[in-house]
Structures are given as structure tokens and as C-alpha cells.
Amino acid sequence: MSELRVVVADDHQLTLSGVADSLSMNGVTIVGRARNPRDAVALVLETKPDALVSDLDFGPGPTGIDIAAHLRKKLPKLGIVVLSAYGDPRLHHASLTEAPKGLVYLIKQQVSETADILAAVALSIDRAARAEKGHLPRVNLTRSQIAVLRLVAQGASNQAISLQLSVTEDSVSKTINRMIKRLGLDTGAAINSRAALIQSYFDAIGANR
């Protein structure tokens, strides 16, 4: 991790400084800080970092997804982490379904320490490399599994999911575990396993397009 070079982009100065400073204190070289999408793109193209950590929402105009889509075409090996208030914004915004392959979404509410961001950065670099080579997984989930997945993405607990789908909480737990197993996830990863579950599924969708 000590050799990583990263650009951080966020329109809120406190968040921008917090993320960049915490990464810097953990051996990451911050080669650029951007407060808007245009500056983020310019900094990445100029500095050629290993990864970009970007907020999703910059207000009116381009989003973090737009930044990612633009940069992926020019720098296919660039790791990209998008910080989102949603489990996966593609489940909430139809316009975001064409997000580039290999993206890693990190749910802001589930970031408890810098290690979570570091793990996401490392994962994003690995996924970018696999996406470039066409090595992202090809996986199909059942309709009932997708129904559970959508609720997981909305932040629902197993109990809340069981009530909404009229199934037992044990059934929900088993469904989630089956999806994790089918997608080959490492449940011991630093990134929240539920977020990783959503991310891996959409990587699979991207690989099948």
C-alpha cells in the first residue's frame, strides 16, 4: 500500500480533507485533490494515479459515475472507488446502470476506519485489471435472490427483509449466504460483506453485457 498514488474528489471540503489526510497518514501518496468533476478528470489525466476515490454526488451536473465512465475509456487500469450514500446507486437510479465495469462502491455509513477505504482502493485496482482482461465473474441469480439483494442495497436488515418479503429471517440469512458463496466472495474482507455482495453482482451483470 505504501506505493499507492491516489486522487481524491469531493465537493465538501471537510470530507475531501478527511479522506485524503487519512489515506496520506496510512502511507498513500495523494497526488491530487479536486472539488468538482472537471478538476478530478484533469488531475487524474495529468498525474496518472493508481486510483481515484470520488464522491457520487457533486450537485447539479456530472456525477462520480460520469467521471468514472470518462476516465475508464482513457485509463482502463485505473482503480475507481465511488463513495455513495446508497448500497449501490445503480439500484436507485436507472440512468446509472451503464456504470463502467470494475467500479467499487463504498457505502459512507459503513466506513468506520481508514482500512475500509484502503481495502476498497486495493479491490478497485484489482477489479480494473480483471475487467480489462475480461475476467470479471459471470453469475446468474434467481428472482428471489435479486429481491433480497435490492433490499440489502437499501440498507434493510435481515429482519426487515423477512417482513417485507413474508419469509423467515433464517431464510433471508441463508439466501444471502448462498449469494455470497455463488459469487465467490471472501467474507473476511475488510469491506462490508453486504456491500461487496452488491458490487460483485453488478460486476457480473457488466461482464454479461
- Which SS3 state, helix, strand or coil, does residue 40 take? helix
CATH number of the structural domain spanning residue 171: 1.10.10.10
What is the Rg, in whole angstroms, of the alpha carbon atoms belonging to the chain? 17
| 33 within domain boundaries | yes
Neighbours of 170 (CB within 10 A): 10
Give the domain extent around 87.
5-132
CA distance 4 to 11: 23
Residue 20 is which amino acid? A
Pick the last residue of a domain from 98, 132, 166: 132
**Nearest residue to 119 via CA among 12, 26, 41:** 26
Can you give the pLDDT at residue 192?
57
| 137 within domain boundaries | no
| 138 within domain boundaries | no
Pick the last residue of a domain from 79, 100, 132: 132
Residue 79 is which amino acid? G
**Cβ pair 204, 137 in contact under 8 A:** yes
Q: How far apart are the first and last CA of the chain?
A: 33
Q: Which residues contact 67 (CB under 8 A, 6 or more apart)?
A: 9, 37, 40, 41, 52, 54
Domain count across the chain? 2
Same domain, 96 and 163: no
Kind plus residue range of the DSSP H or E element containing 31? strand 29-34
Write the pLDDT tens digit of every residue in 81-91. 998 876 555 55
Per-residue buried b or exposed e for 50-59, using 16+ beta carbons within 10 Å of the residue's own CB: bbbbbbbbbe
pLDDT in tens, the chain (209 residues): 448 999 999 999 999 999 999 999 999 999 999 999 999 999 999 999 999 999 988 988 888 988 998 999 999 999 999 988 765 555 555 444 456 777 888 878 778 889 889 988 988 888 888 776 665 555 567 778 878 877 876 667 899 999 999 999 999 999 888 887 776 665 555 445 666 676 665 555 443 33
- Altogether, the residues listed in the chain come to a count of 209
